[in-house]
Amino acid sequence: AQSVTQLDSQVPVFEEAPVELRCNYSSSVSVYLFWYVQYPNQGLQLLLKYLSGSTLVESINGFEAEFNKSQTSFHLRKPSVHISDTAEYFCAVSRNTGNQFYFGTGTSLTVIP
Amino acid sequence: EAQVTQNPRYLITVTGKKLTVTCSQNMNHEYMSWYRQDPGLGLRQIYYSMNVEVTDKGDVPEGYKVSRKEKRNFPLILESPSPNQTSLYFCASSSFRGQGSYEQYFGPGTRLTVT
């Protein structure tokens, strides 16, 4: 079975500073990788995904993540955060059959004015 | 509007009283899934369905049942709820095809309290 580790449960960062949210996974098979964002009292929304191809994937709101197969990582980065980025972020992994999904425990990002 | 709906949004019940949480999607997605979210544990998959009449256990299926008689609906059934099933539940759906493949759309959540 896969497992997903998000080492940082809380990340405070000042507005306009860069941020990296870390995600590591364990799997011996090919996987699909995802980052989801959850705003307070809402469901999860897909931020970006890696299925195949280029290892660097980007979202429409400035986030990016890079799939590193040798380090089994899929860290999320943004060069300059905004107040509106304050939310809970979840990393998820699925085998490339796309059936079972495993989520990390989440990272709470707080952007400080 | 493409969406996943869940009902009820909030539910307080007592131990042992059977309940059903409904989930419906209007995107013709093949895949549907149920998760529970607990503090410090993230989301854990309860059951999933790859298509009509095809369901399978996720990581934490004990105490839950599901059915997939129609493509759009995927109800979650708790035959005899217990306090350790107090949680926030999410339904999600996705397609295996096209540009949005494997992108899960989540419902708004159902907050269940079992006393």
- Provide the chain A residues 37-96 that lie in CB contact (below 8 A) with chain B: 42-46, 49, 51, 90, 92, 94
Which residues are within 8 A (CB) of B40 and not within 5 positions of it... i.e. 6 or more apart?
A: A9, A105
DSSP-derived pairing of the beta strands A87-95 and A107-112: antiparallel
CB pairs under 8 A between A and B: 63
From chain A, the residues in CB contact with B102 under 8 A are: 32, 34, 49, 51, 94, 98
**pLDDT interval class at B96 (50, 70, 90):** confident
Mean pLDDT of the region A69-90: 95
Phi and psi, residue A2, nearest 5° = -80, 160
- Which residue blocks in A23-88 are alpha helix, DSSP H? none
Among the listed residues B27, B24, B29, the one whose alpha carbon sits nearest the alpha carbon of residue B6: B24
**pLDDT interval class at A51 (50, 70, 90):** confident
**In the prediction, which pLDDT does B97 show?**
76
Minimum CA–CA partner of A7 in chain B: B40
Question: Is the CB of A104 less than 8 angstroms away from the CB of B42?
Answer: yes
Partner residues linked to A74 by β-bridges:
A67
Instruction: Report the phi/psi class of residue A98: left, alpha or beta, with left for phi > 0 and alpha for psi in -120 to 50.
Output: left
What tens digit of pLDDT does each residue of B22-71 get?
999 999 999 999 999 999 899 999 999 999 999 999 999 999 999 999 99
**In the prediction, which pLDDT does A100 show?**
85
Minimum CA–CA partner of B47 in chain A: A100
Minimum CA–CA partner of B102 in chain A: A98
Minimum CA–CA partner of A41 in chain B: B108
Question: Is the CB of B108 less than 8 angstroms away from the CB of A51?
Answer: no
Residue with tokens 């996974």: A25
Between A52 and B12, name the one with better pLDDT. Answer: B12
Q: In this model, does residue A1 exceed pLDDT 70? A: no
**In the prediction, which pLDDT does A55 show?**
87
When the pLDDT of each residue in chain B is averaged and rounded to a whole number, the result is 94
**pLDDT interval class at B87 (50, 70, 90):** very high
Q: Please state, in angstroms and rounded to a whole number, the distance separating the CA atoms of residues A103 and A59.
A: 19
**Site from B23, B32, B41, B45 to mutate, A interface, most A CB atoms within 10 angstroms:** B45
When the pLDDT of each residue in chain A is averaged and rounded to a whole number, the result is 91
**In the prediction, which pLDDT does A109 show?**
97
From chain B, the residues in CB contact with A45 under 8 A are: 106
Q: In this model, does residue A80 exceed pLDDT 80? A: yes
